[in-house]
């Protein structure tokens, strides 16, 4: 037997809670940059208290674009385990700006050198399935065939399935194929980390996530999927000739299929996300005058433990020690 060591996910959730509490003040105010900035500032302050020697692998910008959390930035106290860090202070900045559901704050963490460092690629094709339907995963199979196999694995009919797809022009053909197969669809304007989470979480009505989304979001999703036992297949999918040529010039194999295990090459991974705006899956921040309530999802990859955490924050006490003004 192996004695349990520190569960860093329970430290990470303090980071995502802080970001959610700060950014939710901008819900529906039409200013996505200020909402994102509030989350970044709160996240950076919270990272300073974590006993890790962290380096951001998946961030929001380069150093000269600070105060964003940039790739290569060091976070943590500088003491403790050396780790790669993936962050998205606000996944769904437009969702936050326009008061739409499912904006979340997200952090993933894994041992140093184990996270996939994306080349200059902004998009990747993705297929996400729960653990029970992992054998149905095939990026090159017709979508109808994949859905039929997934339904059989899950003990459902195809018309029982719900498929998460981003509502983008590039997915018009995918939507037609899903409808032709007889499955149902949830179309979301943004948020494919949330889509991946919903596909692998048994509480969610979503069974499958299909489509092209962000490459950084793929790495963040892999942090969660490694913990839940789900299956993720990805392939870089440049959306412009210039992006494609950059990748080819860099020697990138555009036919290579990546999995959750190649995106995060160690099971000792940690993941935390906190809701900003309420959705059917994770509730958003609820302010109550003297405090607030948050809901978070926390995953530890090594044990496969998934926790749903509801936290009550008391302004009178929190403001005595917090460097972030939430009230």
Tens digits of residue pLDDT in 313-323: 998 888 777 76
What's the mean per-residue pLDDT of the chain? 92
- Cα 244 to Cα 253: distance, rounded to the nearest angstrom: 11
Higher pLDDT, 103 or 315: 103
Alpha carbon 46 to its chain's center: 19
- State the average pLDDT over residues 91-113: 96
Is 63's pLDDT higher than 50?
no
Q: Read out DSSP for 157-186? A: -GGG-EEEEE--GGGHHHHHHHHHHT-EEE
Least confident of 18-22, 149-153, 279-283: 279-283
Tell me the fold of 123-263. Answer: D-Maltodextrin-Binding Protein; domain 2 (3.40.190)
State residue 317's pLDDT score.
85
pTM for the whole structure: 0.93
Is 64's pLDDT higher than 50?
no
Could you tell me which residues are annotated as the binding site for substrate?
Answer: 91-93, 123, 168-170, 190-192, 214
- Cα 58 to Cα 77: distance, rounded to the nearest angstrom: 19
Tens digits of residue pLDDT in 262-278: 999 999 999 999 999 99
The residue among 213, 205, 198, 217 whose CA lies nearest residue 166 is 213
Could you tell me which residues are annotated as the binding site?
Answer: 36, 60, 88, 91-93, 123, 168-170, 190-192, 214, 217
Share of the chain above pLDDT 70, in %: 95
- Domain ranges within the chain, ordered by starting residue: 8-114+268-319, 123-263
Question: For 165-240, where are the alpha helices, taking DSSP H only?
Answer: 172-181, 192-200, 215-228
Tens digits of residue pLDDT in 34-57: 999 999 999 999 999 899 999 999
- Cα 326 to Cα 317: distance, rounded to the nearest angstrom: 12
CB under 8 Å to 283, separation ≥6 — which residues? 275, 293, 295
Do 8-114+268-319 and 123-263 fold alike per CATH?
no
Tens digits of residue pLDDT in 144-155: 999 999 999 999
Could you tell me which residues are annotated as the binding site for Mn(2+)?
Answer: 36, 60, 88, 91, 217
- Cα 52 to Cα 109: distance, rounded to the nearest angstrom: 10
Is 3's pLDDT higher than 80?
no
Task: Note the CATH number of domain 8-114+268-319.
Answer: 3.30.540.10
164-to-113, 208, 272 alpha-carbon distances in Å: 31, 6, 21
């Amino acid at each position: 037997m192996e004695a349990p060591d520190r569960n860093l996910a329970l430290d990470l959730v303090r980071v995502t809670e802080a970001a959610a509490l700060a950014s939710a003040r901008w819900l529906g105010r039409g200013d996505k940059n200020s909402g994102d900035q509030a989350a970044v500032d709160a996240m950076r302050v919270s990272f300073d208290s974590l006993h890790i020697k962290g380096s951001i692998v998946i961030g929001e910008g380069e150093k000269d674009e600070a105060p964003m959390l940039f790739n290569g930035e060091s976070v943590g106290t500088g003491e403790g385990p050396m780790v790669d860090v993936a962050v998205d202070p606000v996944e769904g900045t437009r969702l936050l700006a326009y008061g739409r559901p499912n904006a979340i704050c997200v952090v993933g963490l894994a041992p140093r050198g184990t996270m996939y460092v994306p080349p200059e690629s902004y998009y990747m094709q993705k297929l996400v399935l729960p653990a029970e339907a992992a054998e149905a995963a095939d990026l090159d199979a017709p979508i109808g065939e994949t859905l039929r196999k997934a339904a059989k694995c899950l003990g459902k009919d195809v018309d029982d399935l719900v498929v998460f797809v981003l509502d983008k022009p590039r997915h018009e053909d995918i939507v037609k194929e899903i409808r032709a197969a007889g499955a149902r669809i949830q179309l979301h304007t943004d948020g494919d980390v949330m889509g991946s989470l919903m596909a692998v979480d048994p509480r969610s009505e979503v069974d499958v996530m299909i489509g092209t989304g962000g490459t950084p979001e793929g790495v963040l999703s892999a942090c969660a999927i490694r913990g839940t036992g789900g299956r993720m297949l990805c392939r870089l999918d440049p959306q412009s000739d210039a992006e494609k040529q950059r990748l080819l010039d860099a020697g990138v194999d555009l036919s290579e299929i990546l999995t959750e295990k190649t995106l995060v090459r160690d099971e000792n991974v940690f993941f935390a996300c906190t809701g900003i705006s309420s959705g059917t899956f994770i509730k958003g921040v609820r302010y109550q005058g003297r405090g607030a309530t948050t809901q978070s999802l926390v995953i530890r990859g090594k044990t496969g433990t998934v926790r749903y955490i509801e936290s009550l924050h008391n302004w009178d006490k929190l403001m005595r020690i917090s460097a972030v003004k939430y009230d």
